[in-house]
Each structure stands twice: as C-alpha cells, then as structure tokens.
Amino acid sequence: MSEFVELAFAGLALGARYALVALGFVVIFRATGVINFAQGGLLVVGAYLTYAFLEGPGLPFALAVVAAMACAAALGAGVERVALRPLVGRPVYAAIMVTVGLLFVLEQTVTTIWGPDNKTLGDPWGLDTVEAGGVVMAVKDLWTLGLAAAALAAFFAFLRWSTLGVAMRATAADPEAALAQGISAGRITAISWAIAAALATVAGVTFAAGSDALVPSLGTVALVAFPAMILGGMDSPGGAVVGGLVIGLVQSLTAGYQQDVLPWAGENVSTVMPFVVMILILLVRPYGLFGTREVRRI
C-alpha cells in the first residue's frame, strides 16, 4: 500500500506539471482556435530564463522564477504580435504550422545562447525527501504541487474575477458579441499567449528541478501534456487540469507496476500510455471529458 501511495503522489506531482502545460494549450486554443505547438519552446525558454536570472544577477530562486515568468509572458505576447497576428483570417493550418516552426526556432535559440550542455537549475529543494506514515515523498514533488496549485489558483481567479479574465471568457464564448461590446480580439489573443508562456515557465522550472537536468530538449515534455489537453477537452481549462492529473497518475502507476503487470511489453511503456488513454477516451467521447460538443445543423 505504501508503494501505491508513493507512486500515486509522484503521479499527482507529474500530473500537476502536465496540467500547467495543457492549460497553456487550452488558453490559446480558446482565444484563437489554434493548437500551439510552440508551447514546448516557451517552456524551455522560461526554464532557461530562470537559470539566467539565478546565475547572472544572482536573484533568489523565487524572484528568478517571477522574473522569468514576466520575461516569458512578454516574449509570448511579442511572438503572437509578430508571427501569428498577420495570419488572422487565413487558414488555421497556416497558423498551426507557424507554431511548429516557432518550436524549433525557440529550442535552437536556447542552444545558441546557453549551449547544448546540461545545466543545474539550482532549486532550493534538491534531492531531499520526507517521510510521513511510512510513505517517502520527494520534497521536489511537494514544491511542484504547491507551485502548480498556486499558479492554477491565480489563473482561475484571474479568469473569474478580473476584467480581462471576464473579457477572455466572453471572447471564447461568443467572439462576435464580445467584439460588438468593444472587446479587442487582438488584445485578448496577446494576453492569452502571455499567460500560456508564464504557465509554461512554471512547468519548465518544475520539470528541470531536483535530479532532472535543464537541457534544450526539455520542451518534448509538452508532447506528453498534449494528451492531457485532448483528454480534458480542448476548450476546457478545468478539463486541462483533470486531464493532466489523470495522465500523470497513469504514467507513474504504469512505470511502477509495469514489470508485475506487463513484463512482456518491453521498456518505457509508461511513455506510451498517455497516448493510449487519449485514444480510448476519444473513441468514447470525441470532444474529451469536459469539451464542448460541436452542434451541426443539416
């Protein structure tokens, strides 16, 4: 039982990271209808910016994360203004392919500036563990859950009570009505990219913390978070959180019990399971668990 609890706890921490990335996907999709494959690149940039603020000015870890979030948010809004806004009114696939190109550009930019070698993020919790009731938990996972919970709570509070948050919800619900009320679609889109980049920064910091290294290929974790978005529903922020937690639990439990349950399946089955779960859910609910069903009238 203690092993199961430890695996479940680690899975929740992993799922919280995926939820942050998946929420970034959803925020941009709700605002633009575009799947942002550059989210992984924003994650890498945010993590390396945190490293830069730690190593350069020598900021405390918390301040370095906040500064990196602000810079990443500005970068996200700038990318939207320069690379995506000129494509408004063009075919959606053109914007999607631009985000794919941005992913490679951002990753290569990180390699050019900081080099291909692994970096140590220098997080304050390191490899420490705590024990409670016979269950050993990594301090990194506790901090991950705390940071993710704070970031998600701040986002949903912003979405629920702030003027800009209400404008974002109105635009997502009915763009034409929102425009008629004087809400700038371009401004909402830029804010959406800024929020997605800030969330990606927090996710990047948690993925690179502890024993994990900071590497330019860190953005590939966004591909695993992609099933979390699909699972929860592409237009559902709450679904992104639920999907992330489910995918994290599935991956952690699969890795822990694979040798007992699926010894014949080979290694690294846990990396495939998120996509297996995504396929099974889509076969039953094509719009995800909480996605809005599209109604077509013939």
Between 264 and 161, the higher pLDDT residue: 161
Q: Which of 5, 251, 15, 247 is nearest to 131 (CA)?
A: 5
- Reading the block at residue 198, the tokens are 């800030």
In a domain, 140, yes or no: yes
In a domain, 80, yes or no: yes
In a domain, 265, yes or no: no
Confidence of residue 219 (pLDDT cuts 50, 70, 90): confident
The pLDDT of 5-13, averaged and rounded, is 88
Mean pLDDT of the chain: 85
The pLDDT of 3-11, averaged and rounded, is 86
Q: Which of 249, 251, 247, 281 is nearest to 269 (CA)?
A: 251
In a domain, 284, yes or no: no
What is the rounded CA–CA span in Å between residue 157 and residue 294? 27
Cβ atoms 32, 189 nearer than 8 A:
yes
Instruction: List beta partners, residue 137.
Output: 130
What is the pLDDT at residue 198? 93
Residue type, 293: R
Q: Which of 134, 122, 145, 97 is nearest to 241 (CA)?
A: 145
Domain residue limits at 201: 2-218
Confidence of residue 85 (pLDDT cuts 50, 70, 90): confident
In a domain, 122, yes or no: yes
pLDDT at 298 > cutoff 60 = no
In a domain, 24, yes or no: yes
Confidence of residue 138 (pLDDT cuts 50, 70, 90): confident
Q: Which of 83, 88, 75 is nearest to 99 (CA)?
A: 83
What is the pLDDT at residue 297? 55
Place of tokens 């500036």: 113
In a domain, 243, yes or no: no
Comparing 9-13, 87-91, 171-175, which segment has the lowest mean pLDDT?
A: 171-175
C-alpha 7, offset from chain centre: 21
What is the pLDDT at residue 108? 92
Contacts of 127 (CB under 8 A, 6+ apart): 138, 140, 210, 211
pTM: 0.89
pLDDT at 269 > cutoff 60 = yes
Instruction: List beta partners, residue 119.
Output: 214
Domains of the chain: total:
1
What is the pLDDT at residue 266? 66
List phi, psi (to 5°) of 129. -130, 160
In a domain, 63, yes or no: yes
